[in-house]
Every structure is written in structure tokens, then in C-alpha cells.
Structure 1
Amino acid sequence: MTHSNKDTAPTAWAKTLKTLAMGLLASTAIASGAQAQEVNFWYHFDNADNPMSALVEKFEAENPGITVNAENVPWNSYYDQLYTSIVAGTGPDAALVKLNAQPRLIEMEALEPLDAWINGWGGKAEVQDNLFTLTAAADGSHYYLPVQYVVLYLYYRTDMFQELGLTPPTTCDEFRDAAKALTRDTDGDGHTDVYGFGFRGGKGGHDHWASLTLARDGVGFGKGELTSEAGVAGTQFVLDLFQKDKVFPPSAPNDGFKEIIGAFQGGQTAMTIHHIGSSAGMVEALGDKVSAVPVPECGGGHWTSFGDESTAVFSAAQDKEAAWKWISFLSSPINNAEFNKATGQLPVTKTDSANWDGHAARFVDATVASLPFAELLPNTSETADFANTVWPVAMQRALIGEISATEMNAEIDALYNK
């Protein structure tokens, strides 16, 4: 029995359609695969020496088929943009993140758990053990992979201290006396041109306030602790330094990182608080005219900030495995050293730490001496609001006299203890 052309035509057409469909599916799969192998990574570097391009190039050479798009987002708007992009569904696949953002990101269900990857990662044993403890979430899970860290200390101008016969302060009383002595009119024009301390009243300055306030016995973020007599006294101490002693520059309520570092390097301030990340620039500008010591003991204790920087993979990432490969690459020996040589912070790997020569010894010593009393802000969702809005707004208002120390501390207490 023979078949007519009428019978064979649909069969031929069906085969053609099948071939076209298979080709289209293959093209789609290739396109999807190519897209899935892209990792969009956000970070924020202030330093001009940016290692990211070289690290991306090295990673892509070691991981053919994965492309990393690294975007340097300005710090002042970093978290505003990050939160907004996550809500809009346009966020990165991975990003540089701080601990105070972790609770909010967990609440937003934006973070991918890393425990399975970390436990199966050959580089796990290389990461300093305490860093996994410090960066863990409240439930003990890990959503962050450490990539660098610092501890804040007190910078001081050795030349100015020597000129006045001063020694670095070890207590708040000594700090206040030194700041008053160092606040001077050095050119005789009747106007102060050197201030004792460069206070960061803008966003990010909560660590300055905390070092002079939270060190006091019984003062923290628990209910009633900041509104206690000791808590209010800590904030009042800060306000008095500005309003009565006038040892902060007039710009202090709005000063941020660049302002406090620029004033210190330029000789407008004699002390400030930051960390080893800025030490290379300090030495470049001042040589041996700058050194560092732990922050002073205030009201019975010490408090300084453990400064973290970690990476995270986001739950909406197109290719989570590729994103993990990228962030674990940044926390691996040699790569981590290169990353931190440029950023100016300390490496997280044991190998890189043992061979570290990225900072002058006096700044490393001040960091190590500060570790025993380094602290973290509360690992809760309120901390993001504290750092980004509540503290900077309240601090600025308090410094210019719009609210009192009691009112400022009450606002922070209300945030944490609703």
C-alpha cells in the first residue's frame, strides 16, 4: 500500500517543526545558562586603590563560564540602594555586607544560608575561628562569609602630644584633659585652628559615641540601660565635649569618614577614632607623627567596635552556586591578602594573617590590644535603623542642642525595647 503526498506532507512538516523547536529550546537553554553563570556583585570601596578588576580577572580565568559583574556602590547610599533593589527584585546576586544589616536582610528573606557550602568548603579551616562565631546569625546559622575585619582604636598625633608633653589617654578623664589641652589657636589670630578630637557626628559615627558611652558599667541596649544615670552620663559626656569644652570642630554634627580623616591628617584635629583600615593613608600623610592606642576606659570599662565586612549570597540569585564560588574565592588565601592589601583591613585567613605585612606594627599592636573588649552591636533588626537613621539623627540634634542627652538615649532605648 502506497501513501500519497497528502499523507507524507504533514509528517515532513512535523519533523521540521520538531527540529525548529529543538533548536529553539537549545538556544534558550544556552542563553539561560549564560545568564545563570553571571554573578552581579555589589561592594563599596572608599580607597582609590581598587583590587576588584584584577580579582575578577583571576577568578574568571580559574572558573571558565562564570562572569562577575562587580559594581562599586557609594557608601553613603549603599544600604538604601541595596534594600530598595531587593524589594524591587533587581538586587545583586552577592554583595559585601555588614553585621548590622544581617537581621533586616534575614527578615526580608533575602539571604541564602551558607552552612552547607561552608561545611563542604576546603577553605573553612583557613578562616580565623572566632570570625565564624562573631558573624553567625542569632539562631546560629551562617548567612555571611567573613572577608575582612578591624577593631577600632584611638589615633593620636604624636608630634602634638610631644609638643605639649602629653601621654596618650587611658581613661575618659585623661582623654578630656588631653583634648582640652590640644584645642588651640596656634597661629595667634584669635580663632581655634586645632581641635582635640575629630568626632564623627554623621552616619557611621555611632562607634565614637559608643566608645565613650557603652563602656560604662551596666550601660548597653537592654531595657532602661541607656536611660539609667550612667547611660545618660555617657551621652552627656560626649555633648559636653562639643558644647562646653569645644574640643570638636564646629562641623562635627555632620562630619563623616572623609571629614574626620582629612582633618586629622591636615592637622586640624589631634585625635580621632578609626581602625587599621586607614593606617596606610595616615602613615603616607604623617609618617611617624601618628600612632594609635586602645580607646580610653570610661566609667568602669572599655568598649570598642569589632568592625566586620563579610559577603553574602542572596536568595534571589540566578546562580547561587556561582555566587558562592565567587565569595569563597575572595575569602581564600592569597586572594584574601590581595583584597585586604588594597582595602586596608586585616585578612581573615590564617595563612595570610601569619604572613601579614600590610600595616605598621604599632597599628597591629593597637588592634590586638583592643580585641579583648571588642564588641558587636545587638544582632537584631533594630540595629540597622539605629546605625542608619536613629543614631545619626538623634546625635546631630543633641549636639546642636535640639534635644537633651536624656531624650537622645530614650529614643534609642525605645527603638530596642518596644
Structure 2
Amino acid sequence: MKKSLSVAALAAAMFVCGSAANAEDTVKFWYHFDNADNPMADLVSRFEAKNPGIKIEAENIPWNSYYDNLYTSIIAGSAPDAAMVKMHAQPRLVEMGALEPLDDRIAAWDGASDIQENLFDLTKGPDGNQYYLPVQYVVLYLYYRADMFKELGLEPPKTCDDFRNAAIKLTRDTNGDGRKDVYGFGFRGGKGGHDHWGSMVLSREGASFDKGGLTNDAAVAGTQFVVDLFEKDKVFPPSAPNDGFKEVTGAFKAGTTAMTIHHIGSANDMVAALGDKVSATTVPECGGGRWTSFGDESTAVFSSASNKDAAWKWIAFLSSEGNNKEFNESTGQLPVTKSDSANWTLHPKRFVDATVASLPFAHMLPNRPETSDFVNTEWPVNMQRALTGEITAKEMNEKIEALFNH
């Protein structure tokens, strides 16, 4: 009887050990792709063939709930082993102790020298450590309907005044039914629209997220400029306070807006819909300067990962020559590797040129824990309230400034 119990106990122990080993060799990876052309299955297969001891479970999480799900999973102790992440989330993730430092792994990685020179500096953590491995990037610029501009004898706007004048002329009834069917600018009032607002506000001399930087006259005038474009000039579609990425880009492709702000990630879809009718230029100079967003995307290993080395191997694979090219051919953003960038032909030259021309005044949001709340709640909620007249431009700026300077 004792012998039988010992054998049973041994068998159970072997089962548990075997399960633990399998669990440690599985990397749970979260990512977000909007497009149907998703290369992840091919990349996973190639990686697993080269690393037979590691299995990748890649899950595509919807963007609108991505960070809500991520933060919840960390608190619940069920975080992924690795995931795609943006800079605005890094301070909070570091504060939560959720990220694994990657400095030593990057230093020992052969692929590090192939990453574009400035990307490690841009993605460095608030404490100076490297928690992120760049995987793609973009810089935002102004899309415009070249055919509509030509029809009306307009030039691409260089200043905010040019922009407003063009938007007013482009907002019109083109079919004679007495209703506007084209609006000058597709403004993104939902999540992610802070980039549109920033180009018209943070560009202004003295505007910043520091104390007094949003409540000074210049910054308030910037937000008022945005509100007036909607309320007085009526050059945004009526749906603008709630519009997100799909609505804004969809309206532009459908011809119901003549300008919008996004990046090279949407260029090929724009060309597929509009051909040579679409072009791009830098965002206009507003209030003495220019400001546009450096759009980052990186990957990270989480401190709770059961096998951090396996998770690192996977994210390093995604940022390596060839694999990074395939990854970004699907996402439509730019590769982080020098080798894949050298012969990049995915996008028409005019959009690459607009990206490069925008780099000198590209910025990132403050690398602070408050930035996540700004992006996900404070900005969209207060922008919507300002656009609908519930609060003033000054009150909106005061609320955002209070978030960063409490």
C-alpha cells in the first residue's frame, strides 16, 4: 500500500513538474493590429521553428480596450509575458513594477547595432533604464486632398491662419442639395485625438505641460482656436467630438473631409482609395512654432513572465532584420532596423518625404505616469466637453494642467 502511494505521489509530482516546464516555455504575447492582413501567424511559425523549446501564444487585443485590459491583467496577476506598448504607458508600468529592465539583454544582443540610432534614447524609461525594445515608428503629418486644393486654387497650409482659411473654403455643399457634404478637416475628438489638438496648441510659444504652460494666454488661445473651428467655423463634421481613428480616416477616404492628421501607417489605404488625389505635408505652424507627434510602438517583457529569456528572444526576433520588415509591411509603419529601412518601398515617396520633413519638430508626450490618464481619459473627455460647450477652452486646459501639476 505504501509502495502504491509512493508511485502515485511520484507520478503526480512528475505531472506537475512537466506542466510547469511547459508553462515556462510558453510566451503569452499581446499585440494590436487593426488591419486584416496580419502576419503574426507566419512570424510565430518561423520563430517556433528556430526555437523548438518555445511556444508563442499571440493574442490580438482590440485597441480601444487594450490598456484597460493590460492594467487589469497586471493587477489580477494574469499579465502577458510580453506585449506591444507605447511610451505614454511606460511611466505607469514602471511605477507598477510591471516591466523587466532590458539593458543587459540589449547590450548583449547582436541586433542592437541595427536599430536606428535615436530610438533607444527616445524610448528610455523615466529612471534611465531601457524597458522597451522599439519595433516600429511614425511621425504625424497633414493629409490633404490635392485635387480639392487644386480645384479651389489653394496651396497646402503653412500656418494656422492658412489652415483655417483653407478649411472654411473646403467646407461646402458640392451636390447642390443645400447641405454640407464636405468638411474642411476631420478632427479626432475621441481617444488619440490629442495629436490633432497638440499640433494647434502645443506648437504655441510658451505652451507646455509644465505649471502655467497650458493656462497662459497662448495655450488657451490654441484650444479656443480648435473649439472655434468646430463651433463657429463649422469646418469639422458634426460627429467630430466622438470620432476615433476609423471615423476620421474613413471620412477622408470617402471624400467627406478634405484634410486630417495621421501618419504613414494609413498612407497605402489612402492611396488605394484616392490615388493621386491625396498628398501630405507637415502640420502648419501655429503660434510661433510647430509640434507634431512621434508615434512610437515598442515591445516589453513583463516582470511576472515565467520565462523572461524566452520572452526576450521573441521580442528581439520581431525587431530583427527581415522579421521587422514583414511586421511593418503589415502594420504600415516604418521599420526600426537600419537594414530594412535602407530599401523601404512600402510607401509612396511623398508620404515618406512628409515624415522626414516633420522629424525636426516631432515630440513625445511627457514620460510621466499622468500621461496615460491624459491620453485615455482626461484629454478625450474634456475635449468633447469643450467642443460641445459644456466647459470653456480655459477650463479644459486648467483640468489637463492640474493633472500634470497636482
Normalising to structure 1: TM-score of the pair? 0.95
Query: How far 1:91 sits from its partner (Å)?
Result: 1.4
Q: SS at the partner of 2:118?
A: helix
1:46-85 matches, within 5 Å, as: 46-85=34-73
Tell me the SS of whatever aligns to 1:71.
Answer: strand
Pair 1:159-2:147 in alignment = yes
Instruction: Output one character per residue of 1:211-266: Cα deviation in whole Å (capped at 9) or x when no partner.
Output: 00000011010101100000100000000100110000000000000000010000
Q: Answer whether contact 1:219 1:231 (CA < 8 A) is retained.
A: yes
Q: Which residue of 90, 101, 114 corresponds with 1:102?
A: 90
* Conserved? CA contact 1:123–1:332, under 8 Å: yes
Per-residue CA deviations over 1:173-203 (Å, capped at 9, x if unaligned) read 1000100010001011111110000000001
Q: Residue by residue, what CA displacement relative to the aligned partner does 1:284-338 show, whole Å, maximum 9, x if unpaired?
A: 1011110100100001000000000000111111111111111000000000000
Give 1:379's aligned residue: 367
Greater displacement, 244-253 / 18-27? 18-27
2:160 maps to: 172
**Deviation sequence 1:107-141 (CA, Å, 0-9, x none):** 11111111111111110001111000000012210
Aligned AA (2:331):
T
1:404 aligns with 2:392: yes
Show CA shifts across 1:129-157 (max 9, x none): 10000000122101110000000000000
Among 269, 272, 290, the alignment partner of 2:278 is: 290
How much has 1:17 moved relative to structure 2? 6.3
Instruction: State the Cα deviation string for residues 56-101 of structure 1 (Å, max 9, x = none).
Output: 1111111102111111111111101110111011111111110000
Give the counterpart of 1:272 among 244, 260, 283: 260
Partner residue of 1:3?
none
- Is 1:299 the equivalent of 2:296? no
1:250 aligned partner = 238
Residue pairs, 1:302-341, within 5 angstroms: 302-341=290-329
Correspondence 1:37 to 2:32? no
Deviations 1:334-390 (A, max 9, x none): 000000000000000000000111111110000000001100000000000000000
1:111 counterpart residue number: 99
Please state how far the C-alpha of 1:25 moved relative to its aligned partner: 3.6
Match of 1:87 in 2: 75
1:137 maps to 125
Find 2:218's aligned residue among 230, 236, 242. Answer: 230
Match of 1:344 among 327, 332, 335: 332
Q: 1:162 corresponds to which letter in structure 2?
A: K
1:27 to 4, 7, 15: 15
Q: Would you say the 8 A contact 1:182–1:194 is kept in 2? A: yes
User: Is the contact made by 1:211 and 1:304 (CA closer than 8 Å) also made in structure 2?
Assistant: yes
User: Could you tell me how far apart the structure 2 residues matched to 1:266 and 1:24 are?
Assistant: 62
Looking at structure 1, the residues matched to 271 and 49 of structure 2 have their Cα atoms a distance apart, in angstroms, of 35
Alignment match, 2:188: 200
- Give the TM-score, by structure 2 length: 0.98
User: Matched residues in 2 for 1:389 and 1:29: separation?
Assistant: 44
> Cα RMSD (Å) of the superposition?
1.2
Q: Distance in 2 between matches of 1:321 and 1:18?
A: 35
Which of 348, 369, 382 pairs up with 1:360? Answer: 348
Please give the secondary structure, in 1, of the residue aligned with 2:110. Answer: coil
Deviations, residues 32-55 of structure 1 (Å, cap 9, x unaligned): 111111011111111111111111
5+ residue gaps, structure 1, are 1-9
CA contact (8 A) 1:386 1:412 kept: yes
- Count of paired positions: 406
Determine the C-alpha separation between the residues in 2 that align with 1:101 and 1:92: 15
Secondary structure of 1:123's partner? helix
Q: Does 1:211 align with 2:202?
A: no
1:206–1:392 contact (8 Å) kept in structure 2: yes
| Separation of aligned partners in 2, 1:24 and 1:48 | 44
Query: Within 2, Cα distance between the matches of 1:203 and 1:237?
Result: 20
SS at structure 2 position matched to 1:129 = coil
Q: What corresponds to 1:4 in structure 2?
A: none
Q: Secondary structure at the match of 2:293?
A: strand
Secondary structure of 1:233's partner? helix
Contact 1:34 1:65 in 2 (8 A): no
Identity %: 69
Deviation (angstroms), 1:28? 2.8
Please say if 1:220 is aligned against 2:177. Answer: no
Q: Counterpart in 1 of 2:377? A: 389
User: Post-superposition shift, 1:24?
Assistant: 4.2
Aligned to 1:122: 110
* Paired letter, 1:136: K
Secondary structure at the residue paired with 1:68? Answer: strand
Alpha-carbon distance between aligned partners in 2 of 1:29 and 1:355, rounded to the nearest angstrom: 48
Measure the CA separation in 2 of the matches of 1:20 and 1:86.
36
d(CA) in 2 for partners of 1:400, 1:206: 17
In structure 1, distance between residues paired with 2:364 and 2:101: 21
Distance (Å, rounded) in 1 between the aligned partners of 2:305 and 2:164: 50
